[in-house]
Structure 1
């Protein structure tokens, strides 16, 4: 029997996830930590993501015949080396990215995410048992603090948290926006009012796919053209609603939305699940179909949000306003879109060169 069969991740009670299987008893700390995250009101998706990170680590410990209590810095280094060198099943081994990295290996982002899960679990253990130190060494301070810490009463006294010295260097990739032709081709392939309204909310209001799927009918105020959005971390914000998108939503509600007791705005229209809330998997299926149909292979849901951010940057919208519209916790994230505004950057560059020429 393989390690995968001896240890697996399953949904527990409420928002908690847990490790189960033959070897689950050896890793009670992991389950206690996941339950702790759920008790702290972390979203089920976050708890699930941390659960899979810990599952990978615990499976590796089983293969090495090690216990959590015996984990040292050297053990963590060995695990990171394993993550970096082990091929991913189903990925082509002979394909390289433009940077020369093999595509059948885990990315630095994935490995750092696993490291963060381990760091959190061992910090949780140290909180309960101070005599047990974490095997994850702390390094230099992070570049920023969270929005909640920064806006607190004594936020000016908060110092950034220290990150682990084991973190891998990550490439800072700019978001990929769709150009006008790609946007037009993708939108023209959409046939239902529901799909057009979903795309419109992402493209013209900058909503995330998860935010679109959690919208209730009562969150849309077509008269005043506002949308109440529940974003990451349970942060609520109000976003202006474009008049064209308001028309699409109104037509969808009048002509296409199935009768249902479900409060969600966007529902499944056909099949045995008709009238139930549209799921993330269902939304991915919709966009996968239309990407192939339109030939716009970059037309992922989040690409529409990136296109919105780029358009706002090119229009010269204030950075603080863009942050509020996009629901970013840190202005650094919003600032990435400034680099995606080539027209604005080129205009400023040409203006600066003109001023320099007139001085000489």
Structure 2
């Protein structure tokens, strides 16, 4: 099995081919459906990779995709855990080569694949679901009262995930990374991430027509209609950072011959002028990690930005808009990240009002 990434005028499209280099039609049909739903390119490619893993499993076991049962899905789940999935030796305890989050994502892809084929071709969905109680959420929707029950459904094959803490960078670390970058393109990308809280794919997807005319009387400006997870959104940007971006376009970008309007392009000889890919910028920053001596990734800046907004007291609904979150529950996670700040604020409060003693009869104003 091979997954080919086709590139055309309408973007990238994953194409799964079998060992005879023939198109795997069910996957192709599902990919076309996702494409018609305007799913982001990264989502398409991730789904293509997940389905390639699943089809490898089916072919190896001589299974047919529309004859799969829950027992086969349980077998596939075990397949995902194994270091060598084609070794039939039973192992009770082993280190999985995939994280629980990755396994759950793959299972979710397979579930949605069967949801589609169940609706269109009446193929049964072998991934069983079970009802569970919803967790308490202070940010309930306006129609929460209209729900018949307080339950939701989860796959019975879901793997337990251990939630890891976000890596919040200090201002000193952000500056240290910036100073370690030795070219204008990557330094500007880092500054854009740090000053807007944007996703790395949003920055890589910036085009010249996203950049507005600069109003020097305004402290904040707006990058309009930026590609974001298959849709478009506006991104607030400090005007000073916008000036740096505009200067980069005039002084650097226009010197590169390209038949597109993407701002950030590859500079190496082989790919020069092509839109800058995530893998290329990722590799570039791997070298920076070695220079600064601590670990970080692009999304750490987004987490840091959102947490800082919470800490200065900005309303969570406003932060939701700034970050481009679809659901306020996504934004609310940063409230928990700000607990350290709350502790500092409360400490300052008690310092100002003084300690309360058991026998102190004075009233606290």
Q: Is the 8 A contact 1:73 1:135 kept in 2?
A: yes
Q: Is the 8 A contact 1:26 1:67 kept in 2?
A: no
Partner of 2:61: 64
**Given the alignment of the two structures, is residue 182 of structure 1 paired with residue 173 of structure 2, yes or no?**
yes
Partner of 1:325: 322
Q: Closer, same or farther in 2 for the Cα pair 1:101/1:220, shift >3 Å?
A: farther
Partner of 2:109: 117
How far does the alpha carbon of each residue in 1:272-299 deviate from its partner, in whole angstroms, 9 at most, with x for none? Answer: 433332221221122112222222332x
Q: What is the CA distance between 1:229 and its match in structure 2?
A: 4.9
**Given the alignment of the two structures, is residue 106 of structure 1 paired with residue 104 of structure 2, yes or no?**
no
Match of 2:309 among 312, 316, 341: 312
Partner of 1:221: 212
**Given the alignment of the two structures, is residue 230 of structure 1 paired with residue 226 of structure 2, yes or no?**
yes
Partner of 1:36: 33
Matches within 5 A, 1:135-154: 135-140=126-131
Matches within 5 A, 1:1-360: 7-11=1-5, 15-22=12-19, 28-87=25-84, 102=95, 105-130=97-122, 132-140=123-131, 162-221=153-212, 223-224=214-215, 225-257=221-253, 258-260=255-257, 261-298=259-296, 300-350=297-347, 358=356, 360=358
Gaps in structure 2 of 5+ consecutive residues = 87-92, 136-140, 216-220, 359-365
Q: What is the CA distance between 1:357 and its match in structure 2?
A: 6.3
Q: Closer, same or farther in 2 for the Cα pair 1:297/1:19, shift >3 Å?
A: same
Q: What is the CA distance between 1:319 and its match in structure 2?
A: 0.9
Q: Is the 8 A contact 2:214 2:243 kept in 1?
A: no
Q: What is the CA distance between 1:264 and its match in structure 2?
A: 1.2
How far does the alpha carbon of each residue in 1:9-34 deviate from its partner, in whole angstroms, 9 at most, with x for none? Answer: 12358554232123777953233222
Partner of 2:90: none
Q: What is the CA distance between 1:76 and its match in structure 2?
A: 0.2
Q: Give the SS at the match of 2:198.
A: coil
Q: Is the 8 A contact 1:11 1:17 kept in 2?
A: yes
Distance 2:326 2:307 in 1: 18
Q: TM-score if structure 2 supplies the norm length? A: 0.79
Bigger Cα Rg: 2
Give the stretch that moved more between structures: 346-355 or 221-230: 346-355
Q: What is the CA distance between 1:214 and its match in structure 2?
A: 0.7
Gaps in structure 1 of 5+ consecutive residues = 1-6, 90-99, 145-149
Q: What is the CA distance between 1:143 and its match in structure 2?
A: 5.5
Partner of 2:362: none
Higher helix share: 1
Q: Is the 8 A contact 2:66 2:124 kept in 1?
A: no
Q: How large is the Cα RMSD of the aligned pairs?
A: 3.3
Q: Give the SS at the match of 1:240.
A: strand
Q: Is the 8 A contact 2:226 2:235 kept in 1?
A: no
Q: TM-score if structure 1 supplies the norm length? A: 0.80
How far does the alpha carbon of each residue in 1:126-164 deviate from its partner, in whole angstroms, 9 at most, with x for none? Answer: 11233x4211112226969xxxxx89xx99968897332
Q: Give the SS at the match of 2:223.
A: strand
